A and B are shown apart, each in its own frame.
Chain A
Amino acid sequence: MNILEIKNLTVSFDGFKALNQLNFSMEKGELRTIIGPNGAGKTTFLDTITGKVKPTSGQVRFKGRDLRSYSESEIACMGVGRKFQTPRVYLNLTPRENLELASNKQKNLWGTLFFQPSVVERRSVEELLGVIGLQRKADWKSGLLSHGEKQWLEIGMLVAQSPDLLLVDEPVAGLTDEDTERTGNLLVSLANEHSIIVIEHDMEFVRQIAQKVTVLHQGSVLCEGTIDEVQSNPQVIEVYLGAQEEDHAESD
């Protein structure tokens, strides 16, 4: 069964169709990259899956369940985790506390109020701190971390939630080449146990991680395939890659 199944999804804001009759499906365990020019509807796409935006028509099915009637927090508890474009971690809490909040199994009032993290949870938080390389800074205020460390912390929070589907919005924006590569490796290693959707602009990075690429354009899927197939598709070159090359030419 497909973990995510989207049929004829349309989202319109005051008549403007951010997503237009979009069809998309993804298998369990897949690492999918979504690219597309600005305004193609990439972020709205994630907003709709996570319940922040409700579909105008069409439906989003996650593990077979229509998500329309669920709130953001319910969808998150079903197993959809999201990383935002700019890192959004709780700056006044330490990385350890950030991860502990995310890894909490009982996210209701009672569980949060009366139960402290279990030994298993503590251990998995400790492991995660190692994976994202923040063991030494585990008890600093997260506001003191660098941009890259915050990006990693947020990915760590995602993993701590132990979701089945990870939605990752531009994870390498503003990172150095080295960090970009490490992030890529991290995502690829996570893909063993999770299904992941990555939205990215950085084509080199896409090449590093991509198994299958979906191109969005004006709210619909333009084409799908391997990175080579996509990059040689004339339509894609016209709407996206071509435009980017022009940008490069201008900036040169």
Chain B
Amino acid sequence: METAKVKKLPSRTVTIEVFVVVAIALIFMFVLPPILTSLGQGFRVSLLGRFLALAIAGLAIDLIWGYTGLLSLGHGVFFGLGGYAFAMHLKLQFEPGTEVQLPSFMPLYGVTELPWFWQPFYSFPFTIVAVMMIPAIFGAIIGYLIFRNRIRGVYFSILTQALTIIFFNFFNGQQKLINGTNGLTDFQTLFGARVTAPETQQVFYLLTIVCLVLTYALCRWLTSGRFGRLLVAIRDDEPRVRFTGYNPTGFKVFVFAISAALAGIAGALYTPQTGIISPKAMDIAFSIEMVIWVAVGGRASLVGAVLGTLIVNFAKSLLSEQFPQIWLFFQGGLFLVIVMVLPNGLVGWLREQGWELWQQLMGKRTLSTYPALELEGELDLEIDHEHPGD
């Protein structure tokens, strides 16, 4: 499968990781859907497809927040841009012999000619490039202006949040151009196949998993190696990075653009599976939700970002089926619990306390405090064996 990208590093652990990731991906692709369908839970497959698309956005947030320390509260904008780009292509599919070659909502508002910026979206290749490049270019411009002026921390977060408000209002107001508050919906065909047909949806489902695996591989490559260490260094002590001779601006702009592009892909995959993209995707709440997924799963852990996205979204759908009123309270509570009890998320907890707990359960001796390492010669020796000084 496409994860072969990472195989370049000739390390055994990498091979194992590729194997595990591909295996999980194949299970999600071909084993899980029939099982769920046979249990009469077929609609869960379509939910899963959407959530896996959201997981790509989760990875995007993890890259920019977990690794680089930039808390973006505006990724909904990039998600929306990607979603709109793809939806525009879908709205330009017409049945043969249709007289008015216009997206269905336009005649309602008296638009008789296709606006200029819709024209290129007739082309499928252009749309695919646009899904990634529009958010990326936009992210790069915004990022450059923000980072060049050394705006950091909470000020960066506030700026990105302001961005969502601007976009939300702008998209809401453009009734004639992009159907305003209703958004783009009622998709008909793609390459002649009905968008809503189960077969087409299955293709989107498989495509989403492939994209998620590719995204995971990309993020894994970016965050390992020297570049990834530099991201962590920027996160932990940016001024120090400058005095070491790196100019962080370029690195941050680059990561922000990549992250924006990934959010755009997520939006483009999510849109045909839900059947709608509306300005709600650029709502502040949605952007904050993305951050919550990653916080729950574990910052600076790619697996955590994916896991967190799936857990929170399934919890959301299960809870809102049973108690429609309760979800928002639950989400707020969840965030509080995570911040106070599991500041490093589920994966962070598993890495630290979880491991100790496991050893305790297995009756193994545990290290109580760090100094014990230095005092006990035996342990010191072990460490030496692990990392011979050559």
**Within 8 Å CB of A100, what residues of B?**
226, 229
Nearest-Cβ distance from residue B10 to partner chain A, whole angstroms: 12
Q: Does B245 contact A (CB under 8 A)?
A: yes
B227 adjacent to chain A (CB < 8 Å): yes
B389 touches A135 (CB 8 A): yes
Task: Say which residue of A76, A90, A97, A144 sits within 8 Å of B245 (CB atoms).
Answer: A76
B residues 226-242 touching A (CB-CB < 8 Å): 226-227, 229-230, 232-233, 236-237, 239-242
A136 located at the interface, meaning its Cβ lies under 8 Å from any Cβ of chain B in the complex: yes
Question: Which chain B residues lie closer than 8 Å to A130 at the CB level?
Answer: 389
17 A-B pairs besides A82-B243, A100-B226, A161-B245 with CB distance below 8 A are: A50-B243, A73-B241, A81-B243, A84-B240, A90-B229, A92-B236, A93-B229, A101-B226, A101-B246, A108-B250, A112-B246, A115-B226, A116-B226, A136-B380, A136-B384, A136-B387, A136-B389
| Cα(A126)–Cα(B248), bound, Å | 26
Q: Does B251 reach chain A (CB closer than 8 Å)? A: yes
Interface residue? B247 (CB, 8 A): yes
The answer to whether B232 touches A88 (Cβ under 8 A) is no
The answer to whether the Cβ of B192 comes within 8 Å of any Cβ in the partner chain is no
Query: Majority SS of interface residues in chain B?
Result: helix
Given A109-B250, A136-B389, A139-B387, does the pair A117, B226 have CB atoms closer than 8 Å? yes
The 8 tightest CB contacts between A and B, nearest first, are: A76-B245, A72-B242, A73-B247, A135-B389, A77-B245, A90-B233, A113-B227, A107-B246
Residues A101-127 near B (CB distance < 8 A): 101-102, 104, 107-109, 112-113, 115-117, 126
Asked if A213 lies at the interface with its beta carbon under 8 angstroms from chain B, I say: no
> Given the complex, which residues of B lie within 8 Å of A112, measured CB to CB?
226-227, 230, 246, 251
Quick one: which of A50, A101, A138 has the most chain B CB within 10 A? Answer: A101
CB pair A107 B245 closer than 8 Å: yes
Given A76-B244, A109-B250, A136 contacting B227 (CB threshold 8 A):
no
For chain B, which range describes its interface: under 10, 10 to 19, 20 to 34, or 35 or more residues?
Answer: 20 to 34
B258 → chain A, closest Cβ, in Å? 11
Contact indicator B389/A93 (Cβ below 8 Å):
no
Q: Which of B230, B241, B370, B389 contacts A138 (CB 8 A)?
A: B389
* B242 partner residues in chain A, CB cutoff 8 A: 71-73, 76
State the A residues within 8 Å of B (CB): 50, 52, 71-74, 76-77, 81-82, 84, 88, 90-93, 97, 100-102, 104, 107-109, 112-113, 115-117, 126, 129-130, 135-136, 138-139, 144, 157, 161
Which residues of chain A are near B247, meaning CB under 8 Å? 71, 73-74, 107
Which residue from A73, A93, A138 sits with its C-beta under 8 Å from B232? A93
Q: How far is the CA of A93 from the CA of B230 in the complex (A)?
A: 10
Mask of B176-220 contacts with A, CB within 8 angstroms, 1/0: 000000000000000000000000000000000000000000000
- Shortest B345–chain A CB gap in Å is 16
Bound-state Cα–Cα, A88 to B236, Å: 10
A144 touches which one: B246, B251, B370 (CB < 8 A)?
A: B370
The answer to the question of B285 belonging to the interface, with a C-beta cut-off of 8 Å to chain A, is no
The answer to whether A90 touches B240, judged by C-beta atoms less than 8 angstroms apart, is yes
Structural contact, B246 and A73, CB atoms closer than 8 A: yes
**Is B35's CB within 8 Å of the partner chain A?**
no
Which chain B residues lie closer than 8 Å to A50 at the CB level? 243
* B298: min CB distance to chain A, Å: 14
Closest Cβ neighbor of B370 among chain A residues: A144
A70 nearest CB across to chain B (Å): 11
Q: Name the residue in B227, B370, B383 with the highest tally of chain A Cβ atoms < 10 Å from its Cβ.
A: B227
